[in-house]
Amino acid sequence: MRRGPSWFNITAITLGFAFLYLPIVLLVIYSFNASKLVTVWGGFSTKWYVSLLSNQGLLDAAWVTIRVALLSATLATVLGTLAAIALVRFGRFPGGTLFSGMVYAPLVMPEVITGLAMLLLFVAIGFARGFWTLTLAHITFSMCFVAVVVQSRLITFDRSLEEAALDLGCPPFKTFFTITLPLILPAVVAGWMLAFTLSLDDLVISSFTTGPGATTLPMKIYSQVRLGVTPEINAICSILIGIVATGVIIASIVTKRREVERQRAERLALQIG
Amino acid sequence: MAGKSLTAGKSLGPVRRAFAPWNDPAAKPFIQFQNVTKTFGDFTAVDDLSLNIYEREFFALLGPSGCGKTTLMRMIAGFEEPTSGHVMLDGQDLVGVPPYRRPTNMMFQSYALFPHMNVWDNIAFGLKQDGMAKADIATRVDEMLALVKLEKFARRKPHQLSGGQKQRVALARSLAKKPKVLLLDEPLGALDKKLREETQFELIDLQVRLGMTFVIVTHDQEEAMTVADRIALMDQGKIVQIATPGEIYEQPNSRYVADFIGDINILEGKVTSTEGGVATLDCIGTGAKVQVTQDGGAKLGDEAWFAIRPEKVSISLTPPEDPSVNAVSGEVWDIGYLGDVSIYHIRLATGATVKSTITNTTRLVSRPITWEDKVWLTWSRDGGVVLTR
């Protein structure tokens, strides 16, 4: 039998990756363009990254975005984890199906509708729109993602671990923090990162729920692009890509290393046992 | 860990032999189930059950899956509350006491070792909950590690241990708090056969030496017979028989017990005489009269079953000389060679099959009795039992 990839496979992979990454690669390349014209290559330069630092509008927007993302991701993680525990642990309770359906609804709800609904609510209760309404809206839509991630971990969680802790004299509340939480922590962290990323790049819901003085980076970029794409935008996008890529790479290295460690330990145990 | 025993020195035989508080009317029960019923929806897991377990007893709850044995144990641990009735431990009513305040500890079937803690911290976990001084915890943990011979593994995480080592850690962890009762939920189910058998004897030694009350849940009748002082055989939420392993094997009180424990021949019949402590059955199965010693359970005219273990049926090629002995003739239908014993299936003239085991005392060169031989089966009056239900 012939080994190695066929020409067909190589072509398919090349086309697939090009489709996914060519726009991003172009964006990164043009962020180093010396020319002010986005589509004309004028030599290598890092001046757009430098000028970024003096663009107060963009820096302000970045600061708002990070604060909203950190706060909303953290609160969404707490709420989402609690919701996941309620869904998995309380078994069947009246209205349980409805409750789980309601938690997941924002997953499939069009963002425009969520955004509009939030806007109407804030207007109705007379909540001044700005940083806090933005944060609340982000918690609302990212919470269900956390719930889904944590729930899938909890379903495979061995309940006898908690029973063992109770049996050994540990009260339920303490059991949650000493046994359950440390063991589901990877899922909770994954949920947090998901919520953080979602908050970081949300445009639609943010546009509906924000107010004066709370413009996020995606909103700022979007409004600037409408006036014409500048190489500065390319630069800030490249930075964002860099941050996200670094995060993903670190996460996968850690996971991989832990897996290798675990396999080594299991081999060791077998040799001795 | 093969070959290493947890205990060394003198045999514990005399201690075990003398122990029988259940025959002593003055003995106070340590664990008491009083008319306990537990229902899950419309399923009755435990049905109006009463049971006494005595201090220092090794008690086995045996039965098929779904018979309620695990629910019964979980009610002692506090993971289930009875729907009605009372569970008492050492004179104290346990109903309403949460599991973390009960003086019992459990060894879980899955071991339930905390994967994010090493062996040392797993064993210390329960002690830390009691607010014990650090130095005392260290002493006790080291003591437990020595008990299960895992001193060198104190810093290992559970996933770095073999199955047998995990089982020892789980045992050490559940013993560390010196519970009044140790509950063992299918504790050896995950071990291979050889290790399981060794560990069974280690458990017995440990239980006698520590002088603790052990309650074990198992579906493995050999395991129950090996370790337990008494066995409660359960079926559909009720106890069918409570007895010592010897009694439950030799004197089953029903066909269910006889059939569940070990191998047995059960043949239907009718009681035609009960004179002098001997019941005579007109046995439909064997097509002959069968005489069995009994203590009056079977009444004249009762429909009854004659039950006899295969090892108590002898095979011979000639009819018995003593005409008073129970005998029936048949033909060798099948032979199962198991190495230590051979199981003979004898087809009788009535069409019934009776099993008989022969110990292979010499290396098998040729079979003295083989397929299609006409043989006589004989057994003494004390060999079998007569069952009325």
pLDDT, mean over chain A? 84
A-chain residue closest to B76, CA distance: A167
* Distance of residue B20 Cα from the nearest chain A Cα, in angstroms: 30
- Clarify whether residues B21 and B98 are in a common domain: yes
- Clarify whether residues B98 and B43 are in a common domain: yes
* Distance of residue A89 Cα from the nearest chain B Cα, in angstroms: 15
Digits of tens for pLDDT over chain B (389 positions)? 333 444 445 666 666 667 788 888 888 889 989 999 999 888 989 999 999 999 889 999 999 888 989 999 999 999 999 999 999 998 889 888 999 999 999 999 889 999 999 999 999 999 999 888 999 999 999 999 988 888 889 889 998 888 888 999 999 999 999 899 999 998 888 788 888 888 888 888 888 888 899 999 998 888 899 999 999 999 988 999 999 998 899 888 889 999 898 889 888 888 887 777 788 887 777 777 788 887 767 777 778 888 899 999 888 888 888 777 888 888 888 888 888 888 999 888 888 888 999 888 887 667 788 888 888 888 888 888 888 87
- Clarify whether residues B275 and B300 are in a common domain: yes
Domain residue extents for chain A = 56-228
Question: Is it true that domain A56-228 has CATH number 3.20.20.100?
Answer: no
Give the integer Cα–Cα distance in Å for A139 and A125: 18
Nearest to A169 among B114, B129, B161 (CB): B129
- Clarify whether residues B84 and B216 are in a common domain: yes
Give which of A37, A72, A29 is closest to A235, Cα–Cα: A29
What is the number of structural domains in chain B? 2
Nearest to A158 among B112, B125, B159 (CB): B112
Give the integer Cα–Cα distance in Å for B323 and B330: 17
Strands (E), chain B: 31-40, 43-53, 58-62, 84-89, 92-93, 104-107, 181-185, 213-218, 230-235, 238-243, 265-273, 278-283, 288-293, 303-308, 314-316, 326-337, 341-348, 353-359, 374-379, 385-387
* Domain end position, chosen among B216, B250, B284: B250
The predicted model scores a pTM of 0.79
Question: B151 lies in a domain?
Answer: no
* pLDDT for A269: 60
Q: Best residue in B159, B182, B185 to probe A by mutation, most A CBs within 10 Å?
A: B159
Which region among A66-70, A229-233, B135-139 has the lowest average model confidence (pLDDT)?
A229-233
- Clarify whether residues B357 and B286 are in a common domain: yes
**pLDDT tens track for B335-345:** 888 888 889 99
Query: How many A-B residue pairs are in contact by the CB < 8 A criterion?
Result: 82
- Clarify whether residues B269 and B349 are in a common domain: yes
* Distance of residue A66 Cα from the nearest chain B Cα, in angstroms: 32
- Spell out which chain B residues touch chain A, with contact meaning CB-CB distance below 8 angstroms: 1, 77-79, 98-102, 104-106, 108-110, 112-116, 125-126, 129-130, 156-157, 159-165, 173-174, 177
Nearest to A167 among B106, B114, B115 (CB): B106
How many H helices and E strands in chain A?
Answer: 12, 0
Residue % of chain A over a pLDDT of 90:
20
> Residue B216: which domain range?
13-103+179-250
> In sequence order, what are the residues at sequence separation of 6 or more whose Cβ sits closer than 8 angstroms to the Cβ of residue A14?
none
Mark yes or no for CB contact B110/A169 under 8 Å: no
* Domain end position, chosen among B250, B279, B298: B250
Mark yes or no for CB contact B100/A265 under 8 Å: no
**pLDDT tens track for A153-185:** 888 888 899 999 999 999 999 999 999 998 888
- Clarify whether residues B315 and B345 are in a common domain: yes
What is the residue type of B320? Answer: P
Q: Best residue in A153, A162, A167 to probe B by mutation, most B CBs within 10 Å?
A: A167
Strands (E), chain A: none
Nearest to A170 among B108, B129, B157 (CB): B129
Question: B165 lies in a domain?
Answer: no
Mark yes or no for CB contact B112/A161 under 8 Å: yes
- Clarify whether residues B94 and B237 are in a common domain: yes
> In sequence order, what are the residues at sequence separation of 6 or more whose Cβ sits closer than 8 angstroms to the Cβ of residue B217?
B60, B61, B69, B70, B72, B73, B183, B184, B185, B186
Instruction: Report the alpha-carbon angle A159-A164-A169, nearest 5.
Output: 130
Q: Is the ipTM of this complex over 0.95?
A: no
- Clarify whether residues B206 and B287 are in a common domain: no
A-chain residue closest to B175, CA distance: A168
* pLDDT for B104: 92
Q: Best residue in A159, A168, A260 to probe B by mutation, most B CBs within 10 Å?
A: A168
Nearest to B77 among A167, A170, A272 (CB): A167
Tokens in use for A44? 């290598």
